[in-house]
Chains A and B, each alone.
Chain A
Amino acid sequence: MNEAPKLNSYRAGPDEDGRFGIFGGRFVAETLMPLILDLQDEWDKAKNDPAFKAELDNLGAHYIGRPSPLYFAERLTEELGGAKIYFKREELNHTGSHKINNCIGQILLAKRMGKTRIIAETGAGQHGVASATVAARFGLPCVVYMGATDVERQAPNVFRMKLLGAEVKPVTAGNGTLKDAMNEALRDWVTNVDNTYYLIGTAAGPHPYPEMVRDFQAVIGQEAKEQMLAAEGRLPDLVVAAVGGGSNAIGIFHSFLDDEGVKIVGVEAGGKGLEGDEHCASITAGSPGVLHGNRTYLLQDGDGQIKEGHSISAGLDYPGIGPEHSWLNDVGRVEYVPIMDHEALEAFQMLTRLEGIIPALEPSHALAEVIKRAPKMGKDEIILMNLSGRGDKDIFTVGKILGMGL
């Protein structure tokens, strides 16, 4: 690939057709086009409406618990003996992950649009729980599509959603995982166009979702930047986040994209290794294609059929990635690297023991990359990592792998 020309800004996208370079777009059935155009109109109005912003900020402060802290991981830093490591503590948000930032934003939009029913897809169940939570908070019925395989391996989150009043519909089509749940949610939407709002959980899908979800998650990076300036008087040298669909990553990256001195790394799920099919490294081991409304890097075969991914973390178990990440990769602004299941598992245990924080398996991937890089960096250098979710939901998975009876 040729060296891309340097851009004035990496934060200008998408264009009016929802494109980040060749990525993004609106690849949906005609039935959905009018809905997506309506959504875009409403989003364009809302994002410039001070009343919308005020309501979002108010719920952010009092319902989610924003700003989330920036935490200096002193013992981890000492142990690794290199760069100072800071965590953006998104796992302390209400519902235990960054997912709620986006859900609050989108449900306010749904309300503005007069929609009376919420649908969502979920993999690990974090987005499902966050969707069910905001649906309860705003008194709207909520249907969550979840792959039948995931319903089994994420039983506690299924129970949470039900307690919150959501209906969880197991999806048996395909292999019964996140991508099949997303297909089924799209089928529901296309059938119930009049009253239903589709609350997509990651920065992917047809335009305007990737932009909208990014903007709702960008609060992570905005806060972190201010907090870092307050704590250290300067910007970090390296920002790291895990990438499945990529909403927590784009959320923390976006504010730093135009800061030249800040290196940015996205960590994909390398699963059991990139040689076979048991991974979810869409960028490092996939190729551009069209799925779920956008063009982006996908795991696919030579005939354009989408493969099932694998990751120890159900939240990264998606064969695609948000289109903005695909673009940031191709223009060379963000480096994407894989981390294997076992490396994430080791990082999970290390953080638990050293800092008394049980991280979700998703940010454990980011942490594993931090553990590799920190010792090679100077003590005067700074790493900022998005600790996007807490690990309570993962203790059963981890316990099983470590052979600990629960």
Chain B
Amino acid sequence: MTARMDRKFADVASEGRPVLVTYFMGGDPDFETSLSIMKALPKAGADVIELGMPFSDPMADGPAIQLAGQRSLKGGQTLAKTLEIARRFREEDQRTPIVLMGYYNPIYIYGVDRFLTDALDAGIDGLIVVDLPPEMDDELCIPALEKGISFIRLATPTTDDRRLPKVLENTSGFVYYVSMNGITGSALPDPSLIAGAVQRIKTHTKLPVCVGFGVKTAEHARAIGASADGVVVGTAIVNQIASSLTEEGKATDATVPGVEALVRGLSAGVRSARLAAAE
């Protein structure tokens, strides 16, 4: 449902602030906790949710998200269960767009057609599949678009003006600008460089541009949000979850409230972003 995503971006834009996109790993540390985290996110101020699909070999992710995936898989998480988390969330929330994020192999093994049918049924609005560049669009991107599910592409500092049109061609929903060459959870580069990159992408597309990789604090969210249409926070949330767990990796009473508190802070950051830009 691309419509839900477009509506959300339009609504938030009319508030004069950037969108807060929050990532967490489905099933980390267990199914029920993870569902509670997902339900808590919009209440704490998240506008869009990226629901991570765990994979044994997450080649583009840093240690924090790798470990989250391992915890989740160890807890028995599967792609079917990740879709189930989304379905359960949708029973209560019809307005927050959900984007599934992960790697291709679990989807390929699940079966592309069956996956798209079940994803649509679970209320999924978009997909980010890290290892499917535009050269591989026939695999999943085109079938997803035909079913009405957005395919959100990553643009990176290596995506030059020559390549950008190819990257943007079948992208819908929003463009995810990766702030640096590297893996998730690295240090955030200079916001002014990012602002320049966002402007460059905007000369090629009318889609909203969200920036992620390295955004950890409310202050980052505010600085990035001054130039971008949205800010993506992932590793910081995953780290917050990790720090609340017992030594055996089990959830505690602090797990869900910890995420809520962090996201509330980030939300305040994006809500003051345009004020900051105007100063």
Give complex CA distance A306, B58 in Å.
11
Give complex CA distance A30, B104 in Å.
14
Interface size classification for chain A: 35 or more
By a CB distance below 8 angstroms, the chain A residues around B56 are 174, 305-306
- A66 adjacent to chain B (CB < 8 Å): no
Knowing A187-B183, A306-B105, the reply to whether A290 touches B163 (Cβ < 8 A) is no
- A291 adjacent to chain B (CB < 8 Å): yes
Q: Which of B142-168 contact A (CB under 8 A)?
A: 153-160, 163, 167
Whether A289 pairs with B133 at a CB distance below 8 angstroms is no
- A389 adjacent to chain B (CB < 8 Å): no
By a CB distance below 8 angstroms, the chain B residues around A33 are 133-135, 158-159, 163
The listed residue with most A CB atoms (<10 A of its CB), out of B70, B106, B110, is B106
- A81 adjacent to chain B (CB < 8 Å): no
By a CB distance below 8 angstroms, the chain B residues around A325 are none
By a CB distance below 8 angstroms, the chain A residues around B163 are 33-34
By a CB distance below 8 angstroms, the chain B residues around A27 are 104, 131-133, 136
Whether B132 pairs with A179 at a CB distance below 8 angstroms is no
B156: which of A31, A295, A300 is its contact (CB, 8 Å)?
A: A31
Whether A190 pairs with B182 at a CB distance below 8 angstroms is yes
- B109 adjacent to chain A (CB < 8 Å): yes
Whether A291 pairs with B105 at a CB distance below 8 angstroms is yes
Give complex CA distance A179, B105 in Å.
15
B55 CB to closest chain A CB (Å) equals: 7
A295 CB to closest chain B CB (Å) equals: 8
Whether A303 pairs with B109 at a CB distance below 8 angstroms is yes
Give complex CA distance A25, B137 in Å.
12
Q: How many residues of B contact A (CB 8 A)?
A: 44
Whether A26 pairs with B133 at a CB distance below 8 angstroms is yes
By a CB distance below 8 angstroms, the chain B residues around A191 are 181-183, 186
User: A274-305 CB contact bits vs B (8 Å, 1 = yes)?
Assistant: 00000000000001011111010010101111
B78: which of A28, A174, A303 is its contact (CB, 8 Å)?
A: A303
- A264 adjacent to chain B (CB < 8 Å): no
Whether B59 pairs with A30 at a CB distance below 8 angstroms is no
By a CB distance below 8 angstroms, the chain A residues around B136 are 25-27
User: A28-44 CB contact bits vs B (8 Å, 1 = yes)?
Assistant: 11111111000000000
Whether A186 pairs with B59 at a CB distance below 8 angstroms is yes
B172 CB to closest chain A CB (Å) equals: 16
- B3 adjacent to chain A (CB < 8 Å): no
Give complex CA distance A290, B181 in Å.
23
- B245 adjacent to chain A (CB < 8 Å): no
- A155 adjacent to chain B (CB < 8 Å): no
By a CB distance below 8 angstroms, the chain B residues around A193 are 158, 181
- B73 adjacent to chain A (CB < 8 Å): yes
A290: which of B79, B108, B133, B178 is its contact (CB, 8 Å)?
A: B108
By a CB distance below 8 angstroms, the chain A residues around B107 are 304
A310 CB to closest chain B CB (Å) equals: 16
Whether B106 pairs with A30 at a CB distance below 8 angstroms is no
Give complex CA distance A304, B53 in Å.
11
Whether B57 pairs with A290 at a CB distance below 8 angstroms is no
By a CB distance below 8 angstroms, the chain B residues around A255 are none
- A73 adjacent to chain B (CB < 8 Å): no
Whether A173 pairs with B181 at a CB distance below 8 angstroms is no
B78 CB to closest chain A CB (Å) equals: 4
A382 CB to closest chain B CB (Å) equals: 41
Give complex CA distance A180, B57 in Å.
7
Give complex CA distance A295, B109 in Å.
12
By a CB distance below 8 angstroms, the chain B residues around A187 are 59-60, 62, 182-183
**A191 and chain B: residue at smallest CB distance:** B182
Whether B159 pairs with A34 at a CB distance below 8 angstroms is yes
User: A305-346 CB contact bits vs B (8 Å, 1 = yes)?
Assistant: 110000000000000000000000000000000000000000
Whether B158 pairs with A31 at a CB distance below 8 angstroms is yes
- B66 adjacent to chain A (CB < 8 Å): yes
Knowing A190-B182, A305-B73, A306-B105, the reply to whether A290 touches B66 (Cβ < 8 A) is no
Give complex CA distance A191, B180 in Å.
8
A277 CB to closest chain B CB (Å) equals: 13
- A183 adjacent to chain B (CB < 8 Å): yes
A204 CB to closest chain B CB (Å) equals: 13
Give complex CA distance A289, B109 in Å.
7
Whether A30 pairs with B105 at a CB distance below 8 angstroms is no
Whether A30 pairs with B57 at a CB distance below 8 angstroms is no
B133: which of A30, A295, A300, A305 is its contact (CB, 8 Å)?
A: A30
Q: Which of B123-140 contact A (CB under 8 A)?
A: 130-136
- A260 adjacent to chain B (CB < 8 Å): no
Knowing A29-B131, A173-B66, the reply to whether A303 touches B104 (Cβ < 8 A) is no
The listed residue with most A CB atoms (<10 A of its CB), out of B105, B155, B157, B183, is B105
Q: Which of A159-213 contact B (CB under 8 A)?
A: 173-174, 179-180, 183, 186-187, 190-194
- Show 8 A/B contacts (Cβ-Cβ < 8 Å), sorted by A: A26-B136, A29-B154, A30-B156, A173-B66, A193-B158, A292-B59, A303-B110, A305-B55
Known: A27-B131, A179-B57. 7 other contacts (CB 8 A): A30-B156, A31-B178, A33-B159, A190-B181, A190-B183, A293-B131, A305-B56
Residues in chain A within 8 A of chain B (CB atoms):
17, 25-35, 173-174, 179-180, 183, 186-187, 190-194, 287, 289-293, 295, 298, 300, 302-306
Across chains A and B, which 3 residue pairs bring their CB atoms closest together, nearest first? A304-B109, A304-B106, A191-B182
